Amino acid sequence: MQAKKRYLTLLSAATCLALLLYLGGVQLRAARAPPPAGRHGAAPRPGSEQRPWPRFPDALRSFGEPEGAGGGGGAGRVSPRQRRDGSAGLYRGRRCRMESCFDFGLCQKNGFKVYVYPQQKGEKIAESYQNVLAAIEGSRFYTSDPSQACLFVLSLDTLDRDQLSPQYVHNLRSKVQSLHLWNNGRNHLIFNLYSGTWPDYTEDVGFDIGQAMLAKASISTENFRPNFDVSIPLFSKDHPRTGGEKGFLRFNTIPPLRKYMLVFKGKRYLTGIGSDTRNALYHVHNGEDVVLLTTCKHGKDWQKHKDSRCDKDNTEYEKYDYREMLHNATFCLVPRGRRLGSFRFLEALQAACVPVMLSNGWELPFSEVIDWKQAAVIGDERLLLQIPSTIRSIHQDKILALRQQTQFLWEAYFSSVEKIVLTTLEIIQDRIFKHISRNSLIWNKHPGGLFVLPQYSSYLGDFPYYYANLGLKPLPTFTAVIHAVTPLVSQSQPVLKLLVAVAKSQYCAKIIVLWNCDKPLPAKHRWPATSVPVIVIEGESKVMSSRFLPYDNIGTDAVLSLDEDTVLSTTEVDFAFTVWQSFPERIVGYPARSHFWDNTKERWGYTSKWTNDYSMVLTGAAIYHKYYHYLYTHYLPASLKNMVDQLANCEDILMNFLVSAVTKLPPIKVTQKKQYKETMMGQTSRASRWADPDHFAQRQSCMNTFASWFGYMPLIHSQMRLDPVLFKDQVSILRKKYRDIERL
């Protein structure tokens, strides 16, 4: 009996022990198991199994976070991996990189060409997406032949993928899959501003993008695929298609501080995602130099959710004018909204108000090429209370540098839809052709990546903008390019006198005569003997734009552009070149013209009247950097160059538009040579042109066509004129360096 009791006791103990070991094993396996798949059923990434960390209270929890609030996305609620996995439908190809999901072979034959699908019948396209497509179709990258394309862009509107939006395109998945060139999205680029909808606002665009790249606003660092996707700014439907307004920092104002140190005015979300940071702004607002205003009054049912602060906040909100705050603030707070991006970002940039970013996890626009530390303050939502003391500690010199950089970035990359789109394409092009890609200095310094074409050169010293940065000077000689359009019938013709005068210049390395005349080339003995080489080139197709082709024979940095009937002395040539050496990025020359706004006709006008103001220096007698030949040929659209060639007119105006658009500076006029006008009008080759009213009317029309393409008027008026220092002193005449100019 005793033995039986002992046996039952041991059996019971063994059973309990086995049960404990079994339950403990289940818990241990559960602790070591990978996290469950996201709500879209995405499996965890291989290798993601890690030892579990103990759970601690989040010491850096966002200020003002309501206990138990749902849908807020606050720290400690949902891990970044879970949020990322929740958008797995968007990123089936999340491992995509250029090397794995892009066919470089399509770009090797024809270069970087972009094809836009033809618009499908019955498909509506919002104006914002029409502007995106128009920017591509008007660029030098566009091709209408898909067999030549390196990159493909949908004509289906993908900008707004919020299911509650009237712009939402339904059945996009089936429509995209039916495209015969889709190829699972390979070599495709998809533009998107809004994704997800209330209450989650995920980054899911609502269809499988396959291996396509995304140019997306409000993209998180978790979902951003480095060197594959492009983060773009959130822009409004009113954002201009081309041109755009200039930044508000008109002058280098010292000191750089304004009336307000830090400002914000915007919506306050009472519940849901994005509410944490904006709900906490009242902790920092002091109503004096830190003015952070929020309103609950938005949406249809805001009163259902209003809290005790709403009425007071709404009253304070109405007291301030937003634009007045923007124009008088040093720093502008840019907190996240429902999505990571915000319209406040571009508004701050334009206003020269240094953005203070409060949007944890946002991949900033064009972060691949733009160094945002030079133009913005990157804050942390969890350290909101430290923001005022942080910005107060920034020295005034640094503040001025930050504000100036906001203006450069705004005007270079963000002021229009066209610039946003072109910047996106240029970034992708740099990835494809890495051996000639632009470096950080080019992207972050004037004039920026859109105007410094790497196909021209990979060496900064070959461009007119970086001499000071590199400690270099342009080459001390120039190449003269004389544009000839009339037959050579007499040895007394102005072109021969001009050739001799230019050849005597101590700075002249070579003379190129561009023969755009219908008559055959003259025999070599018809040209005068000179101490420098003279090369006669027959113009390509005999068109006006051929005078600005980047000829290999131009071996110097400087080009002296001349019309055949120009009358210049050797002294004048020398003086103009010495002036240009100090301003290598500008056009420097003699014949000046100006533009004006005609209120009666509501259009731009062109004038040749002699006034103190000028905005153009015509290329009939001007010096500029040879890079502008390349830019004129490869940057400007064929439509503008064809117009110039058909009219046989306006090429000099177009070159001035281009250089002023790049430099944001006026040209430079040297010596007020009034004889130039009378001499020019007396020549037989062009007298009829200048006297012809149709010729002048054409130039008026060209001004407006060019301004329309650029999206604004790039020409800038100036009253600066550089003359030699001369005095009517006969005793010292022999000591004057440019004494011949005094006799003009």
The CATH number assigned to the domain holding 661 equals: 3.90.550.10
Strands 478-484 and 508-515, how do they pair? Answer: parallel
Task: Specify if 661 maps to a domain.
Answer: yes
325 shares a domain with 216: no
How many CA atoms are closer than 13 Å to the CA of 515, on its beta-carbon side?
14
Task: Specify if 356 maps to a domain.
Answer: yes
378: its two tokens? 């990157």
User: Could you read off the pLDDT of 346-379 as tens digits, one per residue?
Assistant: 999 999 999 999 999 999 999 999 999 999 999 9
500 shares a domain with 372: no
Residue 696: what pLDDT?
86
588 shares a domain with 488: yes
Burial class (CB in 10 A: 0-12, 13-18, 19+), 589: buried
Task: Specify if 580 maps to a domain.
Answer: yes
User: How many Å apart are CA 208 and CA 89, to the nearest integer?
Assistant: 6
Task: Specify if 404 maps to a domain.
Answer: yes
Task: Specify if 423 maps to a domain.
Answer: no
Residue 614 pairs with which residues in a beta bridge?
A: 718
User: Could you read off the pLDDT of 594-604 as tens digits, one per residue?
Assistant: 999 999 999 99
Kindly indicate the confidence band of residue 690, based on its pLDDT and cuts at 50, 70 and 90: low
700 shares a domain with 578: yes
268 shares a domain with 197: no
CB 358 within 8 A of CB 390: no
Number of domains in the chain: 3
Residue 28: what pLDDT?
39
Burial class (CB in 10 A: 0-12, 13-18, 19+), 521: middle
Which residue range(s) make up the domain with 297? Answer: 260-414
User: Could you read off the pLDDT of 248-293 as tens digits, one per residue?
Assistant: 887 666 677 888 999 999 888 877 777 778 888 888 999 899 999 9
CB 260 within 8 A of CB 328: yes
Residue 691: what pLDDT?
56
The helix (H) or strand (E) run that includes residue 657 is helix 651-663
The CATH number assigned to the domain holding 310 equals: 3.40.50.2000
306 shares a domain with 157: no
275 shares a domain with 312: yes
221 shares a domain with 266: no
Task: Specify if 183 maps to a domain.
Answer: yes
672 shares a domain with 591: yes
> Given CA atoms 270, 273, 276, 281 in this order, what sign does their dihedral have?
negative
334 shares a domain with 218: no
- pTM here? 0.83
Domain boundary pick from 212, 231, 250 = 231
266 shares a domain with 220: no
Residue 20: what pLDDT?
59
Task: Specify if 730 maps to a domain.
Answer: no
264 shares a domain with 227: no
Q: What is the spatial order of strands in the sheet that 377-378 belongs to?
A: 290-295, 260-267, 329-335, 354-358, 377-378
Task: Specify if 6 maps to a domain.
Answer: no
- 196's CB contacts (< 8 A; 6+ apart) are 161, 162, 202, 203, 204, 339
User: How many Å apart are CA 737 and CA 327, to the nearest integer?
Assistant: 50
